[in-house]
Amino acid sequence: MAATDIARQVGEGCRTVPLAGHVGFDSLPDQLVNKSVSQGFCFNILCVGETGLGKSTLMDTLFNTKFEGEPATHTQPGVQLRSNTYDLQESNVGLKLTIVSTVGFGDQINKEDSYKPIVEFIDAQFEAYLQEELKIRRVLHAYHDSRIHACLYFIAPTGHSLKSLDLVTMKKLDSKVNIIPIIAKSDAISKSELTKFKIKITSELVSNGVQIYQFPTDDESVAEINGTMNAHLPFAVIGSTEELKIGNKMMKARQYPWGTVQVENEAHCDFVKLREMLIRVNMEDLREQTHSRHYELYRRCKLEEMGFQDTDPDSKPFSLQETYEAKRNEFLGELQKKEEEMRQMFVQRVKEKEAELKEAEKELHEKFDRLKKLHQDEKKKLEDKKKSLDDEVNAFKQRKTAAELLQSQGSQAGGSQTLKRDKEKKNFF
């Protein structure tokens, strides 16, 4: 009997029975709370926005502390992400908070690829979690989950409309992270302008199909407040760590020559709304959504890319074992195909080389024969020349001998004539 059939039977046959007395499982929620509190929580915020829009100041203001960090310059060649993790403690609850901030966002002339490092960073955190999940010995309870739970998108208080960089970036991120858009430095914009600006931003987000995070309204206890807060998005915030004495209370505020803006005054800005929604009411939902929606999507796409499926082409359930074996066979088949291709290629190359060598050998033979013939011709020519020279030498020698003979005969004949002439001379005297 298949496991699904058994489950169905159990489900169908499940009856509600009254308990005769207290058993104790009503303490389960307390057990969960105790376990979670002892393990501690982790929350990761990504701040995306142009340099100088007040990202660091807002984080300090939100968590009522001073996080370290050098102010970023406007001369970065590209967008980078700076990540810092802090251990915070409130009452007996520990929070491992990671704040990731963009550095150099919006500072380049060509902003076409500015969203890429952010997308890559978010994906890298999903990938690390997936790798941990896929390990045989996984330690997810001790694993430092670095997946981004909330992305605060800082919009410049221009009062006009969203920049194309904002729209493109939010569009690229909306399927990967919970985006909460906020109007930064909202003390720079007047009350009436702010109302119009909020409407304009909301309509631009809708018309461009950008999905921003909606505070959940399915839980009765927070449905009303979350519903109301959804209507206030994007929150217009002000950040300041400076405390000023207002009345007889110390308050976070920004002081100007013409007056003071109080960060926590709801008539001045939406900072309190943001803090309520982000930290006090919906932190768990943001974590939940990250895991069940965004990570799930990443995981599904990644596993499908790797060849895993839930059903086979006939819509029958596909087991992991079968998927693994199918993938393995496919891989082995491909490997064999590749091996055969390489073998064929090798044989072909050897044949080509052999033909090349044969051709070269033939050429060498021909060259050798040509040279040999040339040598023989040369040799014959030299021999002929030597012969003719020998003949000439012999002829010369013969002529020389004949000439010497003639000369000696001539000198003998010359001697007797001289004697005769001397005798005739004597007789004359």
CB of 118 to ligand GDP, least distance (A): 15
| Nearest residue (CB) to ligand GDP, 152 versus 205 | 152
Q: How far apart are CA 6 and CA 100, in angstroms?
A: 47
| Nearest residue (CB) to ligand GDP, 145 versus 270 | 270
Asked if residue 415 binds ligand GDP (CB under 6 A), the reply is no
Q: How far apart are CA 234 and CA 202, in angstroms?
A: 8
Site stretch for ligand GDP (CB under 6 A), options 49-57, 74-82, 228-236, 335-343: 49-57
CB half-sphere exposure, 203, CA atoms < 13 A: 8
Total binding residues toward ligand GDP, as defined by CB under 6 A: 16
Site stretch for ligand GDP (CB under 6 A), options 54-62, 299-307, 324-332, 415-423: 54-62
Asked if residue 54 binds ligand GDP (CB under 6 A), the reply is yes
Q: How far apart are CA 311 and CA 317, in angstroms?
A: 4
Asked if residue 98 binds ligand GDP (CB under 6 A), the reply is no
Q: How far apart are CA 252 and CA 147, in angstroms?
A: 31
CB of 54 to ligand GDP, least distance (A): 3
The residue nearest ligand GDP at its CB is 54
Q: Which helix (H) or strand (E) holds 249?
A: strand 249-256
Binding mask 160-199 for ligand GDP (x = CB under 6 A): -------------------------x-xx-----------
Q: Is the peptide bond before 234 cis (omega within 30 degrees of 0)?
A: yes
| Nearest residue (CB) to ligand GDP, 13 versus 71 | 71
Q: What are 175's two structure tokens?
A: 């399927």
CA triple 335-338-343, angle to 5 deg? 125
Asked if residue 56 binds ligand GDP (CB under 6 A), the reply is yes
| Nearest residue (CB) to ligand GDP, 226 versus 240 | 240
| Nearest residue (CB) to ligand GDP, 44 versus 51 | 51
Beta bridge partners of 42: 96
Asked if residue 239 binds ligand GDP (CB under 6 A), the reply is yes
Q: Pick one of 44, 46, 48, 55: the residue that binds ligand GDP (CB under 6 A).
A: 55
| Nearest residue (CB) to ligand GDP, 104 versus 125 | 104
Site stretch for ligand GDP (CB under 6 A), options 50-58, 89-97, 138-146, 227-235: 50-58
24 sits in the region (left: phi over 0; alpha: psi -120 to 50; else beta) called: left
Please, which of residues 253-292 interact with ligand GDP by CB under 6 A? Answer: 254
Q: Pick one of 99, 150, 229, 238: the residue that binds ligand GDP (CB under 6 A).
A: 238
Give the residue carrying structure tokens 């044949």. 351
Q: How far apart are CA 14 and CA 30, in angstroms?
A: 26
- Cβ atoms of 294 and 178 within 8 Å: the answer is yes
CB of 187 to ligand GDP, least distance (A): 5
Angle (deg, nearest 10), helices 191-207 and 164-173: 50
- Cβ atoms of 235 and 282 within 8 Å: the answer is no
Distances (CA, A) of 138 to 88, 142, 165: 26, 9, 39
Q: Pick one of 52, 94, 117, 216: the residue that binds ligand GDP (CB under 6 A).
A: 52
Asked if residue 104 binds ligand GDP (CB under 6 A), the reply is no
- Cβ atoms of 147 and 125 within 8 Å: the answer is yes
Beta bridge partners of 311: 317
**What are the DSSP calls for 201-245, one per residue?**
HHHHHHHTT--------SSHHHHHHHHHHHTTPSEE------EEE
Site stretch for ligand GDP (CB under 6 A), options 7-15, 48-56, 205-213, 314-322: 48-56
CB of 66 to ligand GDP, least distance (A): 11
Q: Pick one of 44, 46, 57, 212: the residue that binds ligand GDP (CB under 6 A).
A: 57
Q: Considering only CA atoms, which of 151, 154, 164, 167 is closest in space to residue 294?
A: 151
CB of 297 to ligand GDP, least distance (A): 29
Asked if residue 72 binds ligand GDP (CB under 6 A), the reply is yes
Q: Pick one of 46, 53, 122, 205: the residue that binds ligand GDP (CB under 6 A).
A: 53
* List of residues contacting ligand GDP (CB under 6 A): 49, 51-57, 71-72, 185, 187-188, 238-239, 254
